[in-house]
Structures are given as structure tokens and as C-alpha cells.
Structure 1
């Protein structure tokens, strides 16, 4: 029996999540082609990529905020090749499979025959278990294996869905009193082990009670984000905490509107500004929750005034508990 092969197209900022997808696909008998692992020095890479796309059993195109904010990416070139290829294939068989890592919309592209790329059914990995089961089923796996790594902690499987939670900002320097002590809800997400990379990856979607804060979170990439931990397991000891980090570099363009918490209004950015959003969270498992404290720092190439001071607060994340398989 010929082994099925899937080409995964992605941007480098999403490599941790994509590598986790790769590990689960391979555990389910799907061979995976990733440019970072398959291309060797001296390879005519454009030819190699095109051959791998056209000769693969499936083409998986990964979409995220990280991809959308990129001004240019080879993932878009790969998608052009894939769309050209899918036109030649029978419509009755799935080959081109869009995958969403977060809440970002999938772009519109014309496939042909009045059909758009966004018309294709996608797999939504913001809900990890349902999304992975959908993806594996699309790849022809009749009995998907979803738990493929060591437990995250004692009694907790290698992948869990996040079902609720909150972030409470105790300190928000430079912001009005209205924002101090603000509670941002955690709507959904997941946490999973990637044994291959030796990391734990968590995806979290948040919703602020204030529209201005939600616009700020979305612009900073903090309304839905992937946090990474180098820990071997989630700690169950409140004195030995597990560290997760998320970092998002971005450029605020001159003339764009940006939420200003100090005034509570939208302001026009006066010049191009490089900004680095950095979140650190430290926590431990207690029952069906992972809880602890977090801090947010903003680094920039210009003085930020009070915003240079860290924002601090507490978090509590509730995950679903499922029996180990």
C-alpha cells in the first residue's frame, strides 16, 4: 500500500504549531513534507517545492494572523501552485485543504469555474480536538489517533481543549482607572505536547469586555495567540512554576488608526513604529485548571512613556479532562 503524503504550507512564525500537526499526521500514517526539513543545501528549491506540491496526496495550507500580517511569503506562491493543480483534479476528491490556526479569516482567491478558495471547507484548529479529527478524516484516516505524546501532567493527556478562563489585569501603567483590574475572558483554545520539538504549545483566544481593549488586543495579535513552553511537563507544584512565553513583533504604519488606552480613543500613528509585544506567564496545574501570573512588556524603537512599564496580572485557565487513551 502506497503511503499518503501531505505537503504543509505555512509561515515560519507558525512552525511550532505546524510541527505538532506534523507529529500527529505521522502517527496516523501520513507522510509529511515540510520545506524546513526536506530542502537540503544545493537544492533547486523552487523546482523541489513545485514537484512536492504536485506529487503529494494532499496540500494543506495553514492560515493565521502571522500569515496575514506578512507583506510577502513563499506560502502564497505555494498556494498559487496548489490552486493551479487543484483545477486539474476531480472535484469529488479532497486535495487542497485549508487549515485555520486562529480566528483570522481565510483570504479570497479565485479557483476557477466561479469557485473561490474561501468556499472550500476548512479545518479549524482553534478547537484542537474537533479540528484535528476533521483534518485526519479529510486525509482518509478512518480511526484518528489524537493523543500521541506523553501526558502533559499526571492524569492529563498529551492534548487538552481549553474551555474557559480569564486574565485579570492588576497593573496597567498609563491606562485610565477604567482599565485597572479589568477581566478579559478566555473563550477557548487548546494545549498540547510536541515531543519532537520538546515543547508544550498552547493556543488561547481572548475577549475583552471593552471594545477599545479588544481592538488593541487584536492589533497586537493577543486576541488569539500561541504560547510556547520549554518545560517537559506542566507543573503541579505551586512553588515550581511552568513558564510560557509569546512574542509578536509588528510594525505600526504611519497614518493607521491605533487604540490609545491613555485617552480611550483611536489615534493616528504619526510615523512607522516597530513594536515588540512580549508576554510571560508562570503557572501550575490545580485540578482542571492551570493558573498563575502574567506580565506583558512593550519594546519599541521610540520612547513609549508609561507603556514601557510591564502590565501585570493573574490568570486562570480551565481545560477539559478526558481519560487517557
Structure 2
């Protein structure tokens, strides 16, 4: 960790009263970080993403370091509390002993708010770290939405979405804006197309589903630090991403079987052989259903 006794450029400007937007942030000034792994610098395949992969142990370190870089920049800018969601795979990837005090971590599954569990209206902003493009995107490293094995398409109110839009919509329900996203160039392009002027930290450039030109971890952390400082420096310029209610959530499965079984529920409409629709009063309600739909297994005995 950097020496916090040295003022960052953001904190120096804040101390001089030159960043009124940051000074006017919500009190207490809290930050939420949702951390995925596919968008971490260097990640290109299962070998980095799953515990059985020969590089997984190293890349847990790199993922943790990227989160810690953002944490360090945020504390230097005046944030007083941070919640981190370990949002990849089994939800037990981050090395929590490496985090400083005033950081709490959401781990494992299932969670009512999925990748945004723990967020509420007390946060000034949210950062989506290490995210990836959606399942309908033709580009991007490890492009998928929620489940690469099960889902072929996900839509909110007829708009195709990825995990970034879903997370942003959950945050938006609580009035919290996404202020920064990080991942490959295609992820940043995708989310800026939806969220507008959100700060984007590109740490690699997609070549294919399992290939990329990537920054080194050290340079990626420089990019993340600078992006975090810029985002916090103009935090009042961001607006929450809100979707119209009631929320129509359409899920297209790769197999017809899940659609067939879920259609037995009276709250579910079957649109075709592979697709179901659930209509919810708001995003938290929709999130609970989606978590059930993609997580439940018939053999979930104790």
C-alpha cells in the first residue's frame, strides 16, 4: 500500500476547496466496489479463473492488488468506508487479509443482490472492477452474462444487457451512480455506451474470447489509480442508471430444460422454447429471482 500521509492530487485539490463536487458527496462518504475477475489484466482463460487452473493462485494475487489499488486511491481521496463484493466464480477469490481496515468484503453465494450485495443509498458511488462484456457482444475476453454455461441472452425491458448493466441498475435503484468501470477495451466501450460519461480503465485489448494484448499488472494498477482519482474528482457529474418499472427480465437459456421447469411457476411467462420472462416491481426483486434462476440445482441438499 502507498503511504497515505502523502496527499494524492485529488485530496490536495479537495483540501484547497477546488473540488466542491467531491466535498458535497453523501455523508458518510462511502464507496462500493464490485470485483469480477475476467477483466483483470492478464486474464484470458480458465487457467486464471478457476481454482483448478495452473495460474489461478497468481491471479488471485493480481485481482486483490487491483482492488487494493482502487481502495488506496479512494482512501487518499477522502473515502471513509469501502464495501467490496467478491463477485467472481465461487465468490471466494480475494485475499481478504491483504485489505486495510475500514474495508468489508461480501463473499460466496447466493446473494439477493447478486454482484451488488450490500449496496444501499448510503454510498456515494460504485466501481465495477474487472468486468467483462455481455453474452450478446461479439467481442471481448470471456464475454458472457451471469453464466457462460447456461445463458444465451439476458434482457431488461427488451434491452440486451450484461453484468455491468445489471449491476448498474441495482445500484441505480438505490440512487447510487457507477463512477468507474475497468476491464478490456470492449467492456469499457459497452458500458460507456449505456452509462454515458462513466470513467473507463482499459487494462487490456481483446483479440478474441480467449486472447488479449494486456498491460502488465504494475502498469494496469497505474491506470486504475489514475482512473479512480479522476472518477472521484468529478463524482457529482455521474447520474444513477435507472430502469423503468415494473422491470421485465427476459432470460434465454442454452438448454430448453430450465425454461421448461421455470415456466411451471405462475410468476413466470414462457416466451419460447428457451426463453422465460419475469416481471418484477423493481430491480432488487428482479435480482432475487434471477439469482434463483441461475443458481438453483435440484441436488442442493445439505
TM-score by length of 2: 0.28
Q: Which has the higher helix share?
A: 2
Q: Which has the higher strand share?
A: 1
Greater relative contact order (CA < 8 Å, ≥ 6 in sequence) = 2
TM-score by length of 1: 0.27
Which structure's CA Rg is the greater one? 1
